Amino acid sequence: MTKLDVLKKQYQKAVERLEEILEKEKNDIIRDSAIKRFEFTFDLSWKLIKAFLEEEKGIKCVSPKECFKEAYRQGLINYDDVWLKMTDWRNEAVHVYGEKFADSFYAKLPETLKLFRLLKKII
């Protein structure tokens, strides 16, 4: 089993877990869990793209933004600046936390889920 195969399975599970939590009625625990699941899913998304580009195209990338940009260039994903914004959101979620931020960030999660689902279908 290749690294890409392992990441595909992990990513699929992460997307399912994010979908699961976003279907629940929001409260503080659900919100915080959804944000944490976003972090896992985001990390797996760029690592999946990285592995795909390396194994299938022979292209190396080392950071999330670099991998997303290369995925655009290769036609793997359609251009959507939300992918790049997600990198910043993920970094904020890890380093800055407060009720106002958490509520604002939680509202963005359905948009991110759409892109995660699309990537799941593509790879």
Residue 116 predicted with pLDDT over 90: yes
Instruction: Say whether pTM exceeds 0.85.
Output: yes
- pLDDT for 26: 97
Burial of 67 (0-12, 13-18, 19+ CB in 10 A): buried
CATH 1.20.120.330 for the 3-122 domain, yes or no? yes
* Most distant CA atoms of the chain, gap in Å: 44
**The three-state (H, E, C) secondary structure of the chain, written as one string:** CCHHHHHHHHHHHHHHHHHHHHCCCCCHHHHHHHHHHHHHHHHHHHHHHHHHHHHHHCCCCCCHHHHHHHHHHCCCCCCCHHHHHHHHHHHHHHHCCCHHHHHHHHHHHHHHHHHHHHHHHHC
Going from N- to C-terminal start, the domains of the chain cover 3-122
Six token digits for residue 14: 């992460």
Kindly state the tokens that stand for 10. Answer: 């992990």
What's the pLDDT band for 93 if we cut at 50, 70, 90? confident
User: How many angstroms from the chain centroid is the CA of residue 94?
Assistant: 14
How confident is the model over 27-35, as a mean pLDDT? 96
What is the residue-averaged pLDDT of the chain?
Answer: 95
Residue type, 76: L
**Residue 68 has what pLDDT?**
96
Mean pLDDT of 77-104: 88
